[in-house]
Structure 1
Amino acid sequence: MSDGVSAAIELSDPSDPRVAAYSTLSDAALRRTTDAEHGIFLAESSVVVRRALAAGMRPASFFLAHRYLDSMADVFAAHPDVPVYTGTDETMQSITGFHLHRGALAAMYRPQARSVASVLDGARRVALLDDVADHTNVGAIFRSATGMGVDGILLSPRSADPLYRRAIRVSMGTVFSLPWARVEHWEDTLAGMSDTGWTVAALELTEQSVDLDDPTLAARDRLGLVLGAEGTGVRPETLDACDVHVKIPMYRDVDSLNVSVAAAVAFWQLRPV
C-alpha cells in the first residue's frame, strides 16, 4: 500500500468541516471558498479527476470510499501533500448525498481565467455560447467541440459555468483541455471578431439562413459558430452582430434539435477544409 493510501484520513462524522466542500456548499458558493481569487470546483469520477490533473489543475483534497483507494494510489503518490479523505460507502454517501459509484472526487483550485485574445490566438474554429444556461448542454458542447476540432469556446456573461460539477461530468473532463473564456462585452466582441477577419455565423433558423452544407462556410479560414439557449435560440441582439445565419436542413417536419446535438452536427460539417 502506498504512503498516500496509508495516510488517508478516515471520516466518520458527516458534519466534519474538513469535507464541507463535498456536502454543504453549492457550486456558486464553492467559487468564493478557500481561494480568495478563484474559489474551487469539484471534479467527479476517477476519470475526470485524472483528466483534470493531466491538464494541470491543482488539487485541494481527494474524497473517495475505501474500495477506490488502491485504484488511485498513483495519483496520491504524485500529490503527497494533498489530503485524502475516505470512509465507508455509507459514510461518504451521507456526506455527499449520493452514492459514489464513479470512484473519486476531488476539490480543485479554479484556474486563472483566460483572456478572449488568448482563446482566439491561432484558432480557426471557435464556438460562441449565447446565454446557454443549461449545464448539461454546456458540458455536451465542450465534449463535441473537443472531439471535432474546435479550437476554443467563448461564453456570454449569462452562459453556464463550465466548471460546475454537472458540466464537468457531462463533458468527461474536456472542459480542462479546451481553451475557453468568459466574455464581458458580448456583442462588441462578436463585432470585433468580424472586423479582424473572423466570420461569425449564428446557428439559427431565420429568413436569411443559408444551409449548413453551403461549401463557402467550411472554406472560411476563421469561423465562429454562435449557439443559443435551448428553446429561445440565439438572441436578436446577438443575431444582429453576426455575419451570417445558418440552418441545418431537416426532415419529416422536425424544425429543431437539442442545442448540443445541433452543435455536434455543425462542428463536424464546418471543420476546416
Structure 2
Amino acid sequence: MAQLIEISDPDDPRLGDYRDLRDVQLRRSLEAEHGLFIAEGEKVVRRAVEAGFAPRSFLMAPRWLDGLAEVLATTEAPCYVLSEDLAEEVTGFHVHRGALASLHRQPLAPLEQVLTGARSVLVLEDVVDHTNVGAIFRSGAALGFDAVLLSPRCADPLYRRSIKVAMGAVFTMPWTRLPDWAEALPTLTAAGFTTVALTLAPDATPIEQAVADVDRLALVLGSEGPGLSARWQASADRRAIIEMREGIDSLNVAAATAVACYVAARRPGAHR
C-alpha cells in the first residue's frame, strides 16, 4: 500500500515531478529526462494505473484519499498529501480535481505491432497542440478506431493536457510515432491500408465517397495551420473533404477528426 506522507513545504524536493506543470518547455525536458508523465484527476489517475502504468508517486489533497483508496492499495509508491493551496503553489495552477500522479512511461511499440489486427487508424502530421491531440484520441477511441500514428513533430499524447482532454483514452488506444516521415504513407499502403487524406485539394472527394469501399483505412490529418504537407497529400491513396456551407472556414482539426471518424465508422465492413 502507498505510504501517506504529509507535506507542508512547497520547496520539498520530493515534489519535483509536480513542479511548474504549466511550463511546457520545462516539462518536456524533465519528463523526457526521467521517463515520466503526469495524470490529473481521480478518473484519469485510476485509468492510468488500471492500464498498467507504474506510479512513481501521487500528490493529492486529503479529501481525495478515500476516492483513490483502492488505487493506493495496489502500489508502494509514496502519496504526498498537502492542502489544495499548497498544491497550487507547487504546480502553478489550481488543482481543482484534487489528485495528481507521476507515472513511468512505457517504451513505444513498433509500428508493426500497433498495426496488427487494426482496421481503422488515425495518422497525424505535425499536430502540435496538446488539446487537439487529446481530443483526437478521444474521438478515435469513441468511434471505433484501433490506433493512432504520429509524425515525429506531433505533440506528446502523454503530456498532462493531452491526457486530461482525452479522459485517459491515450492509455487504452494503441499509438506510436512513425519512424520515417517521408515514406510514412507509402509504408501504410504497403501494409494493406488505404490512406485517405483530409484536405482542400481540388481533387478531393466527399469523405463519405472516399471511405465507402475501404477495407483497412488510414485516415490522415494535418497540422492546425497549414494542414497536410504537399508530400503527404501527394502520397496519400485518396484525398477527401468534409463538405461545408460556402463561406465558412474549415473545421478545427479535432472537430474534423470527429466528423470523419463518425463517417468512417459507418462504412461497410468497418468492424469485421
Please state which band the TM-score falls in when normalised by the shorter chain.
Answer: over 0.9
- Equivalent residues in 2 for 1:203-222, closer than 5 Å: 203-214=198-209, 217-222=211-216
The match for 1:8 is: 4
- Equivalent residues in 2 for 1:41-190, closer than 5 Å: 41-79=37-75, 81-190=76-185
Q: CA deviation at 1:191?
A: 0.5
SS at match of 1:224: strand
Q: Letter of the aligned partner of 1:27 in structure 2?
A: R
Please list every run of at least 4 consecutive aligned residues from structure 1 whose deviation after the TM superposition is greater than 3 angstroms: none
Task: Report the count of equivalent residues.
Answer: 263
The match for 2:186 is: 191
- Looking at structure 1, the residues matched to 118 and 32 of structure 2 have their Cα atoms a distance apart, in angstroms, of 32
- Looking at structure 1, the residues matched to 204 and 33 of structure 2 have their Cα atoms a distance apart, in angstroms, of 45
The match for 1:233 is: 227
SS at match of 2:262: helix
Unaligned 5+ runs, structure 1: none
Unaligned 5+ runs, structure 2: none
Q: CA deviation at 1:113?
A: 0.8
- Looking at structure 2, the residues matched to 98 and 108 of structure 1 have their Cα atoms a distance apart, in angstroms, of 20
- Looking at structure 2, the residues matched to 187 and 242 of structure 1 have their Cα atoms a distance apart, in angstroms, of 12
- Looking at structure 2, the residues matched to 259 and 32 of structure 1 have their Cα atoms a distance apart, in angstroms, of 27
- Looking at structure 2, the residues matched to 32 and 212 of structure 1 have their Cα atoms a distance apart, in angstroms, of 38
On the 8 A contact 2:195/2:220 being kept in 1, the answer is yes
The match for 1:28 is: 28
- The alignment yields a C-alpha RMSD, in angstroms, of 1.4
- Looking at structure 2, the residues matched to 165 and 253 of structure 1 have their Cα atoms a distance apart, in angstroms, of 36
On the 8 A contact 1:138/1:160 being kept in 2, the answer is yes
SS at match of 1:31: helix
Cα separation, partners in 2 of 1:33 and 1:192, compared to 1, 3 Å: closer
Deviation readout 1:118-155 (Å, 9 max, x if unpaired): 11111110000011111110000000000001100100
SS at match of 1:142: helix
The answer to whether structure 1 residue 263 and structure 2 residue 257 are counterparts is yes
SS at match of 1:9: strand
The answer to whether structure 1 residue 247 and structure 2 residue 246 are counterparts is no
TM-score normalised to structure 2 length: 0.93
TM-score normalised to structure 1 length: 0.92
On the 8 A contact 1:30/1:41 being kept in 2, the answer is no
Q: CA deviation at 1:252?
A: 4.2
- State, as a whole percentage, how many aligned pairs show the same letter: 45
On the 8 A contact 1:86/1:92 being kept in 2, the answer is no
Q: Letter of the aligned partner of 2:113 in structure 1?
A: S
Deviation readout 1:203-224 (Å, 9 max, x if unpaired): 001111010111x613211110
Deviation readout 1:19-50 (Å, 9 max, x if unpaired): 1110147321233344xxxx100001111101
On the 8 A contact 1:27/1:165 being kept in 2, the answer is no
